[in-house]
Amino acid sequence: MQDVIIIGAGPIGLACGIEAQKKGLKYLIFDKGCLVNSLYNYPLNMTFFSTSDKLEIGGVPFISHNSKPTRAEALEYYRRVASHWNLNLNMYESVNKIEKTESHFNINTSRGKFRSKTIVIATGFYDKPFMLKVKGENLPKVKHYYTEPHPYFGMDIVVVGAANSAVDVALETYRKGAKSVTMIIREKEIGSNVKYWARPDIVNRIEEGSVKAHYEASITEIKEDVVFFKDKMGEHKISNDFVLAMTGYEPNFDMLEELGVEFHNDAFRTPVFNDETMESNAEGVFLAGVVCGGYKTNKWFIENSREHALTVMKAIETKKYSK
């Protein structure tokens, strides 16, 4: 019987494991992928918006070569954190089913069965992309994740979106030799939350014509060699080799619903939880990190949700010894 099972081995899940260990709680951390799986799936050349000190967890210093660390530096750092604390990690083990009894939870994973008094959901939001929901989206040429520009050299690229990921993809593929880069943007302009050093860059590239952009536009169909889209001027067709749909991602709502977590009646489908304990309306189910924001995935980041780990484990410790 575990005191707590933590689902998600991202930075916040690791932070929860560290706090559980410090309090002498019996815990396990599960992830269906590798350590900090979301960060691993970031573009290879990505630089964080945050400074390294704001990404630190568990009292382990994060030293980077520049003020803003890279993806490679972050992966190295979180490996070091996991090793330093000798965390109880069950990697590549997906949680398939969770059942609530009067006294505990029964957890069935891809490898076994476990029991725990409490559950912490720290699954982030990066594993489930928003789909375009258009004909042809299942073609191999359509990608919802981007790693590096090399495969797109000499190719006609369509980038869907106007937030940080889309801007990074458009700039990098253009600079690394894509034949053409066209952005299909639902909004009237490039996102206002785009990194301050990238926004003027993409705006200038669009204005000079190096990157094409169609605003208030949406894709209607994708074929092997062309993409159809519409905007205020009507319907259009352009030659295309790859569609990079940087449309964002959503939390694992299915798991929350299975556990009985309720949601506020708002546009972001924000889960119900107690700010003072991070416990949801479902007794024994705690939330930590980005998942707390629902569709508003830009509300919580590593730097402003590290405190969730302290709050959650303090509440679980109190819950344990009060019974």
* 82 to 35, 42, 59, 281: CA distances (angstroms): 9, 20, 12, 31
Q: State pLDDT tens for residues 196-228.
A: 889 999 999 999 999 999 999 999 999 999 999
- Residue in this structure with the two tokens 């980041």, named with its chain if needed: 301
Q: What is the pTM of this model?
A: 0.85
Beta strands 113-121 and 234-239, pairing class: unpaired
- Residue in this structure with the two tokens 């992966």, named with its chain if needed: 75
Q: Do domains 2-128+249-321 and 142-245 have the same CATH topology?
A: yes
Query: Per the CATH hierarchy, to which homologous superfamily does domain 142-245 belong?
Result: FAD/NAD(P)-binding domain (3.50.50.60)
CATH value of 2-128+249-321 in 3.30.2290.10, 3.40.50.720, 3.50.50.60, 3.40.50.1820: 3.50.50.60
Dihedral of CA atoms 182, 184, 189, 190 in degrees, nearest 10, equals -70
What is residue 301's predicted lDDT score, i.e. its pLDDT? 73
Q: State pLDDT tens for residues 90-130.
A: 999 999 999 999 999 999 999 999 999 999 999 987 778 88
Q: State pLDDT tens for residues 278-301.
A: 999 999 999 999 899 888 877 777
- Residue in this structure with the two tokens 């205020």, named with its chain if needed: 232
Domain boundaries, the chain: 2-128+249-321, 142-245
User: pLDDT tier at 323 (50, 70, 90 boundaries)?
Assistant: low
Q: State pLDDT tens for residues 60-98.
A: 999 999 888 999 999 999 999 999 999 999 999 999 999
